[in-house]
């Protein structure tokens, strides 16, 4: 039975530690498969675009990503449910864009972060099958955000100008239109 897990908040030490890579045998264990179900359920219940294992107090190199008409991100393109295990990201070019980001572990705050426009993704899916793909734009930003979590980083670490920090309400009121256009 799926459970909603407790999401770690900024300041929790688990968010600052790099996560553990899994062997295929570990990944396929009943306990890890049940955890992945709980991770997905928690992400959906919180209306997140993604959720990393360490955000729910498990130091495993696993994250889930999904955007499906998400009310928190009406301007983001849909991303089918994707589970990344042991992901490694490589920029395809040096081209970057500025993106307002928020985080379930940093509630009610958003800020501008620079992200690569296009990245190569190497990982396993939840069944241990290889994933090798290239993602672009806002989807690439979402992947980078979640994999940063797995490396012990928060989007706050990447905010270049603290003047870009806004509450969620003020993002919607003053800045969402510029992102959506």
Residues classed as catalytic: 146
* 63 DSSP β-pair partners: 52, 84
Torsion from C-alpha of 23, 64, 141, 8, nearest 10 degrees: -100
Confirm if 126 and 36 have CB atoms less than 8 A apart. Answer: yes
Sign of CA dihedral 32, 36, 38, 39: positive
Buried b (16+ CB within 10 A) or exposed e, 129-148: eeeeeebeebbbbbbbbbbb
Torsion (CA) 10, 12, 15, 20 in degrees, nearest 10: -170
């Amino acid at each position: 039975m799926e459970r909603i897990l407790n999401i770690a908040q900024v300041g929790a030490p688990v968010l600052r530690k790099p996560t553990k890579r899994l062997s295929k045998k570990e990944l396929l264990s009943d306990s890890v498969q049940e955890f992945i179900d709980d991770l997905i359920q928690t992400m959906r219940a919180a209306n997140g675009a993604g959720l990393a294992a360490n955000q729910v107090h498990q130091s495993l190199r696993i994250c889930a990503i999904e955007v499906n008409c998400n009310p928190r991100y009406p301007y983001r393109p849909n991303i089918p449910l994707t589970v990344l295990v042991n992901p490694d990201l490589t920029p395809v070019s040096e081209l970057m864009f500025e993106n307002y980001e928020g985080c379930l572990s940093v509630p009610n705050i958003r800020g501008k972060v620079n992200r690569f426009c296009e990245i190569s993704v190497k990982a396993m899916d939840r069944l241990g099958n290889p994933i090798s793909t290239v993602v672009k734009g806002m989807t690439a930003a979402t992947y980078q955000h979640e994999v940063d979590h797995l490396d012990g980083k928060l989007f706050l670490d990447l905010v270049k100008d603290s003047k870009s920090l806004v509450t969620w309400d003020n993002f919607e009121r003053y800045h969402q239109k510029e992102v959506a256009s």
